[in-house]
Structure 1
């Protein structure tokens, strides 16, 4: 059986690795001139690490990433709102997106990878299975589901970068009025960071000014980063199906979500392993993945309501009090709703 994966990002490469593991012949088509990944850091959550274990690449991810045993949530003035127990943080790995992409790329033979390939229609592709892993603005999704809604602005913009350091910091998420930030330390002393604020699309904003009075070292991280990426945050409204005919939508092409649970790339890794686990049974793939990813999509949306979207002093005070009153062990159990995913059983 032959599969063609359209898109050479993390989701597309993970799909190729996974399908080859169960015996599929695979080709990966990427429209860019080179295979690569831009961005900053990613937190590999326990569910994503299980997917990488199944693919056989988790050990390399551990070597390149930074397993942390401490972390928590802070207010913008620096007060700790919650500390997460060390035992619950051991399997959260901070890694640069480019490093994770590189691990997956090295797991594939070069002869199945094709760049500079522009795919505009499924009809161009001769394969038993076509995987549309071509991102939130997927051309194949638009062709297959012409009546489905396209991406919608989610009301926030974000900046990301890698500060040179060296720093020695825990994984941290910070909430403030109408904004949030995150710190993901890398093993070589660099720090991946992001800051985000609720704002109109394409608003003229300066992150250095916006976050100048937030707790240290966030202002320093932003100021010391030479290459800062800005992205207005878009989401894909819920789709009625992830499959049509011989085509499966995967990753952001199927369920692009706001980033407030840190599960976007993790969902793509789950998708890839599930598609291989059902051995190309697309009805089963849709039945398994759509409820799971759409539940996480909704959870991410709710997290934004109590995070980046809060501005009123009363709302902020209530939210911060609730965090401080919540035991870390209880918080971890709440996170387990999203991170307890297990690899589906293989078909006979």
Structure 2
């Protein structure tokens, strides 16, 4: 047993950082979270959490809070740009996988998790942009922040995303994120369906066209139901920097140039959008290692997963539970072995998911008429074959750990929400 509570410094207060903190808190680690932004984000798009990610949230005691502010993505509908339904598939079998997949705004997911962490007395420090790390043997590891403050601990976890400052601090020669040449503009529009409430079942639409891709689903926001949509083009209409500077009206014009002749409701969603984000898709080349000394990277900081896989958040959540398990079982000792074991277990799986995302992205590139016809036939043929066991490798993954974080009661959730 260690002679003092191990001190964990978690850099990044998005999704993975607070969930890891919850796991460590359950084993009496002294855990602090440091976040560069000024507070919980109220902006951003939306995402899907697959059953494997939801199972982690259940173990962390926060799954009910997340379900309270999301909808269930119960079915995937694959269509072409003319509005023809090519195939349907269940998004995830709750009886088979333990938890349903959900569709949720990033702001709602972040707030549910961070509020639960704070309710568990986990300190969250904002406006803390990391600038450097001192890791001197025989001394505490030290994180230096841009405001001149420092924090000491026994180890550091970098959960600060694709542009990780932790990675830059401890691996300055590591490959940098690279722009893939694909943009992912998306937005929120007035909801096109009725009956969209938290936990309601909603279909997720994937529309494949000859010159790009469009997807949409209904979800809930503090302002009420909204339809979230996104577009993927094989190449931006302008450079990445110029696209980032375009106005909402200009983005709508560009998107209508791509999708204006597609079947309803695609043009209507673009025209009625209340907010549009324009996100360049980046990739992180495989890192030679995920740890250095007493610092380890998790989530996008270690292995950014393209959005085409639908698994980015779920992979980061899996990381938190597996690393939490190793750290708790070792009582924070033997960090080098813990970090090696973590990477050896997680890298093959994340590599496989990254490859899946890249293959899915290739299916959204501009095609010739013949290639487009072939793609549609493949969707018709192979989507039905992906049911049940064909998805088990991805969705049935669970970290075998009998220690779970106590869930928050409905009464306590209501008090926190107020």
TM-score scaled by length of structure 1: 0.92
Q: CA offset at residue 69 of structure 1?
A: 3.0
Which moved further from structure 2: 60-69 or 321-330? 321-330
Correspondent of 1:304 among 348, 354, 361: 361
- Are the structure 2 counterparts of residues 251 and 329 from structure 1 closer, same or farther at C-alpha, using a change threshold of 3 Å? same
Kept in 2, the 8 Å contact 1:3–1:131? The answer is yes
Kept in 2, the 8 Å contact 1:84–1:329? The answer is no
Q: CA offset at residue 100 of structure 1?
A: 0.8
Which moved further from structure 2: 264-273 or 116-125? 116-125
- Are the structure 2 counterparts of residues 37 and 339 from structure 1 closer, same or farther at C-alpha, using a change threshold of 3 Å? farther
SS in 1 for 2:74: coil
Q: Structure 2 stretches of 5 or more lacking a match? A: 1-5, 135-141, 144-151, 195-201, 244-250, 333-337, 404-418
SS in 1 for 2:344: helix
The answer to whether the aligner puts 1:119 opposite 2:155 as a matched pair is no
2:402 & 2:290 partners in 1: Cα distance?
A: 21
2:54 & 2:87 partners in 1: Cα distance?
A: 24
Q: CA offset at residue 276 of structure 1?
A: 0.6
SS in 2 for 1:43: strand
* Residue in structure 2 matched with residue 199 of structure 1 by the alignment: 235
Q: CA offset at residue 346 of structure 1?
A: 5.6
2:82 & 2:102 partners in 1: Cα distance?
A: 26
Kept in 1, the 8 Å contact 2:91–2:101? The answer is no
* Residue in structure 2 matched with residue 182 of structure 1 by the alignment: 215
Kept in 2, the 8 Å contact 1:144–1:244? The answer is yes
TM-score scaled by length of structure 2: 0.77
* Residue in structure 1 matched with residue 300 of structure 2 by the alignment: 252
- Are the structure 2 counterparts of residues 215 and 15 from structure 1 closer, same or farther at C-alpha, using a change threshold of 3 Å? farther
The answer to whether the aligner puts 1:137 opposite 2:142 as a matched pair is no
1:70 & 1:293 partners in 2: Cα distance?
A: 24
- Are the structure 2 counterparts of residues 332 and 303 from structure 1 closer, same or farther at C-alpha, using a change threshold of 3 Å? farther
Kept in 2, the 8 Å contact 1:39–1:160? The answer is no
SS in 1 for 2:229: strand
* Residue in structure 2 matched with residue 215 of structure 1 by the alignment: 263
Q: CA offset at residue 320 of structure 1?
A: 0.8
Q: CA offset at residue 37 of structure 1?
A: 5.4
1:209 & 1:335 partners in 2: Cα distance?
A: 36
Q: CA offset at residue 136 of structure 1?
A: 1.1
* Residue in structure 2 matched with residue 104 of structure 1 by the alignment: 113
The answer to whether the aligner puts 1:230 opposite 2:278 as a matched pair is yes
> How well do the aligned residues superpose, as a CA RMSD in angstroms?
2.2
Which moved further from structure 2: 128-137 or 141-150? 141-150
1:340 & 1:72 partners in 2: Cα distance?
A: 22
Q: Structure 1 stretches of 5 or more lacking a match? A: none
Which moved further from structure 2: 332-341 or 129-138? 332-341
* Residue in structure 2 matched with residue 320 of structure 1 by the alignment: 376
Which moved further from structure 2: 5-14 or 202-211? 202-211
Kept in 2, the 8 Å contact 1:161–1:192? The answer is yes
* Residue in structure 2 matched with residue 154 of structure 1 by the alignment: 180
Deviations 1:25-58 (A, max 9, x none): 1111111111225322111101111111110111
* Residue in structure 2 matched with residue 277 of structure 1 by the alignment: 325
Which moved further from structure 2: 215-224 or 269-278? 215-224
2:92 & 2:22 partners in 1: Cα distance?
A: 30
**Large movers: runs of 4+ above 6 Å:** none
2:266 & 2:112 partners in 1: Cα distance?
A: 29
1:15 & 1:132 partners in 2: Cα distance?
A: 11
Kept in 2, the 8 Å contact 1:154–1:258? The answer is no
Correspondent of 2:398 among 320, 325, 342: 342
Q: CA offset at residue 178 of structure 1?
A: 3.6
